[in-house]
Amino acid sequence: MSLPELPIMLQAARECGLLAMKYFRHGETVAADANVQHKGADDPLTQADLEIDRHLHEVLLSARPDYGWLSEETVDDPARMQRRRIWVVDPIDGTKEFIQGLPQFAISIGLVEDGKPIAGVVYNPAAEEMFSASIHDAPLLNGQPMACSARAELVGASCLASRSETKRGEWDGFKDEFRLELMGSIAYKLALVACGRNDITFTLTPKSEWDICAGVALVQAAGGSVTRKDGSEFIFNEPDPRTRSVLAAPNQLHTPLLQRLVDTPLSPDRRGGTPPPR
């Protein structure tokens, strides 16, 4: 039995991909009418983010008006806490790469029930890659089955690293241990782990539920695990949607990765404000 919401999510992602590609320019700075703004330090916003957010809100809540809503680009409504099911979306995860003309961004749509992700769609329209999975639907990449890597050894694993974190030197200690590949969007990173193209990814820099919700659903469905650095699982639709760390790996590499990072300190929260709870 297929999850009824999944076709709605897939269609919404395709439509939002068309909106994104109106502004995206491969290898060039985003179109001028994208109206690049800055919400804060190292936190850009474009017209595409806003248009996609509006479209997702209209389509998803029209289809399921009794569900809650959490989006990076929408003012948070605490009423979501009273809903069993909630849409958790990031209109464009990887906005910096989107602006720079790098095909390393994604539209991320997650569906949560009682704190657990039950479906996820991550769509990179520039790469024409649609990742999807649900508790009732097999994990797919462009309609074909996908699964996490079968690699048995952590040392030498293909690891997706944040472009900005790498520039700050936060990955210097891992260069000789993993085969690092720089990538923007964490939603896209998680999708790439889910399809087995890369073995692992992690970040010790704060993230939010909308960054990871859909990707967590994908990795879990594809035979992997996603937790915090302390090994705790994510509960979604929390009052504070932020988290201090994210680790994703195939099930057989997850415990070794946790052990490898146990003494590695968390990175500073560079966006300021009250620190994430954990």
- Residues contributing to the annotated binding site: 72, 90, 92-93, 211
Up-side HSE of residue 86: CA atoms within 13 Å toward CB?
27
Q: Which of 74, 97, 85, 82 is CA-nearest to residue 23? A: 97
Taken in order 255, 237, 164, 188, the sign of the CA dihedral is: positive
State the DSSP string of 230-242.
Answer: TSPBP--S-SS-E
- Tokens (6 digits) for 260: 């490898």
- 21 sits in the region (left: phi over 0; alpha: psi -120 to 50; else beta) called alpha
CA-derived radius of gyration, the chain: 17
Up-side HSE of residue 121: CA atoms within 13 Å toward CB?
27
189-192: which pairs have CB atoms within 8 A and are 24 or more residues apart?
189/160, 189/215, 189/248, 190/122, 190/214, 190/215, 190/216, 190/218, 190/219, 190/226, 190/248, 191/106, 191/122, 191/124, 191/129, 191/131, 191/141, 191/215, 191/218, 192/160
Classify strands 207-208 and 179-183 as parallel, antiparallel or unpaired. unpaired
Tell me the residue type at 204: L
Which residue ranges make up the annotated binding site for Mg(2+)? 72, 90, 92-93, 211
